[in-house]
Amino acid sequence: MFMKWKFFDKIPVEGGVSYQDLAASVGAQGEIVSRMGQMLVSTGTLLQPKPGSVAHSRLSLRYKTGNSNGSAFAMLYDDFQPVFAKLPGFFGKYGPNLPVGKTNIPITFASGADGKLTPWEVFAQQGTEHIEQFGLAMQAMTGYLWPHTGAYDFTWVGKYAATNPNRTLIIDVGGSFGHSLRANLVKYPNIPPGRCAVEDREEMIPSITKAHANDPVMENVQKVAADFHKEQPVKGALIYFIRRCLHDYDDNDCVNILKILADSLPEDEPQARVLINEHIMTDPPDREVAAIDIIMMTWASLERTVQQLEKLADRAGLVVIKVHRAGGSSLGVLECKKASRS
Ligand SMILES: C[S@@+](CC[C@H](N)C(=O)[O-])C[C@H]1O[C@@H](n2cnc3c(N)ncnc32)[C@H](O)[C@@H]1O
């Protein structure tokens, strides 16, 4: 509730604020706010400069609106924790089987939207702030848990750009705020940002545009509204990079998504690639991948082994040339070309 009521924004960076003032800012009863506040003080999340007041600690600034780490916490709390709490009800209603489909699944059941909405529609109907929170959470989680760089070497793309002035270079498909693309543009400064694009759902584009406006790395990156289940709006790009999107979908949807990307590869450029960047399931599993796999189970999807991903690529008309891994990361990059290419 401290995040929902934006109290972390209202506590000054220097000095404190009284519980009464915080409560008055949202018309809440003072005792509700002080009872919650004392819990945060007891754990050291907030400091108590004097009785009845709170101040920021070194931990609490991350819970301010727009902070990606705080957004990751809020996403786990708002979007995932209720889903797990309601699993008994879900399995009671639908039977103790693997969830399948797009609407009668744990994540939609938990929000009372089962049978009506898909997970992305559940998020969309919660408004812009919620959509931004999810995007910022992706940014935080992928930033510290799963590095964007290190597995695939984009050096050749910078060289290619210098001699091929017209082709779109990298499209970050389902890229959210484009944090992966950004990390690679920083690492490979020879890749011109203006010849790259971030694609995401239409409702994400205003937030992405706003986030890029004051970012010298991303301001010139193209922002493209696209539904990756449908026609690809930017055809003939050198690289279609898709990261942590396939794990949201069942096999048939993934094949459709990949087939659309395969068909968008340019006929006249043998170096063109689809790069599939996903967590790699192993046996026995990595703890992190097993944990995300349980989340994906609530979306009727899964984390896949290299062999499962290769099978999807094959069904989509792609050939996996190489699987790139970075030490210490649970993610891998499957480098794919169109099957008909030599
Ligand atoms: C799990 S996030 C991954 C984001 C980012 N690629 C990363 O690795 O952090 C999935 C992304 O796919 C986007 N997405 C979901 N459905 C989509 C669709 N039909 N078309 C395009 N993007 C979609 C979401 O908005 C979200 O940004």
Nearest CA to 233 out of 242, 241, 223, 243 is that of 223
**Position 262 in a domain:** yes
Given a contact cutoff of 8 angstroms between Cβ atoms, the answer to whether 88 and 97 are in contact is no
Cα(94) to ligand 1 centroid in Å equals 27
Tell me what pLDDT residue 341 has: 53
Please count the structural domains in the chain: 3
Domain of 77 in residue numbering reads as 68-144
Best residue among 130, 173, 201, 277 to mutate for probing ligand 1, ranked by most atoms within 8 Å of CB: 201
Residues 108 and 251 in one domain: no
Residues 130 and 273 in one domain: no
Cα(261) to ligand 1 centroid in Å equals 15
Residues 159 and 308 in one domain: yes
Residues 75 and 208 in one domain: no
Tell me what pLDDT residue 107 has: 95
Residues 179 and 308 in one domain: yes
**Position 150 in a domain:** no
Q: What are phi and psi of 292, to 5 degrees?
A: -70, -35
Distance, CA of 236 to CA of 234 (rounded, Å): 7
Domain boundary among 25, 42, 63: 63
Nearest CA to ligand 1 atom 20: 227
Tell me what pLDDT residue 135 has: 85
Domain boundary among 144, 167, 185: 144
**Position 48 in a domain:** yes
Tell me what pLDDT residue 144 has: 66
Residues 92 and 58 in one domain: no
Residues 140 and 171 in one domain: no
Q: Please, how many CA atoms are within 13 Å of residue 6, restricted to the half-sphere of its CB?
A: 9
Distance, CA of 274 to CA of 265 (rounded, Å): 8
Residues in the chain, pLDDT under 70: 143-144, 341-342
Best residue among 245, 253, 257, 277 to mutate for probing ligand 1, ranked by most atoms within 8 Å of CB: 245
CATH number of the domain that residue 185 is part of: 3.40.50.150
Given a contact cutoff of 8 angstroms between Cβ atoms, the answer to whether 192 and 159 are in contact is no
Cα(51) to ligand 1 centroid in Å equals 46
Residues 32 and 136 in one domain: no
Residue 193: asked if its preceding bond is cis (omega within 30°), the reply is no
**Position 1 in a domain:** no
Handedness of CA 143, 144, 148, 153 (dihedral sign): positive
Tokens of 102: 């797009």
CA 277 to ligand 1: nearest atom: 8
Given a contact cutoff of 8 angstroms between Cβ atoms, the answer to whether 110 and 94 are in contact is no
Residues 56 and 126 in one domain: no
Task: Tell me the per-residue pLDDT of 85-105, one tens digit each, with 9 for 90 and over.
Answer: 999 999 999 999 999 999 999
Given the residues 56, 148, 212, 247, select the one marked as catalytic: 247
Cα(207) to ligand 1 centroid in Å equals 14
Contacts of 186 (CB under 8 A, 6+ apart): 217
Give residues (CB < 6 A) around ligand 1.
Answer: 120, 138, 142, 174-176, 180, 200-201, 204, 226-229, 243-245, 248
Nearest CA to ligand 1 atom 24: 174
Distance, CA of 224 to CA of 341 (rounded, Å): 28
The amino acid that residue 100 corresponds to is V
Task: Tell me the per-residue pLDDT of 259-291, one tens digit each, with 9 for 90 and over.
Answer: 999 999 999 999 999 999 999 999 999 999 999
Global confidence as pTM: 0.90
Tell me what pLDDT residue 143 has: 66
Residues 170 and 258 in one domain: yes
Residues 297 and 334 in one domain: yes
Cα(6) to ligand 1 centroid in Å equals 27
Give CA 10 to chain center in angstroms.
28
Q: What is the gyration radius of the CA atoms in the chain, in angstroms?
A: 22
Best residue among 200, 205, 230, 243 to mutate for probing ligand 1, ranked by most atoms within 8 Å of CB: 200
Edge-first strand listing for the sheet containing 16-18: 16-18, 53-56, 46-47
Given a contact cutoff of 8 angstroms between Cβ atoms, the answer to whether 157 and 238 are in contact is yes
247 is annotated as an active-site residue: yes
Nearest CA to 173 out of 244, 125, 113 is that of 244
Distance, CA of 295 to CA of 189 (rounded, Å): 36
The amino acid that residue 60 corresponds to is S
Residues 199 and 333 in one domain: yes
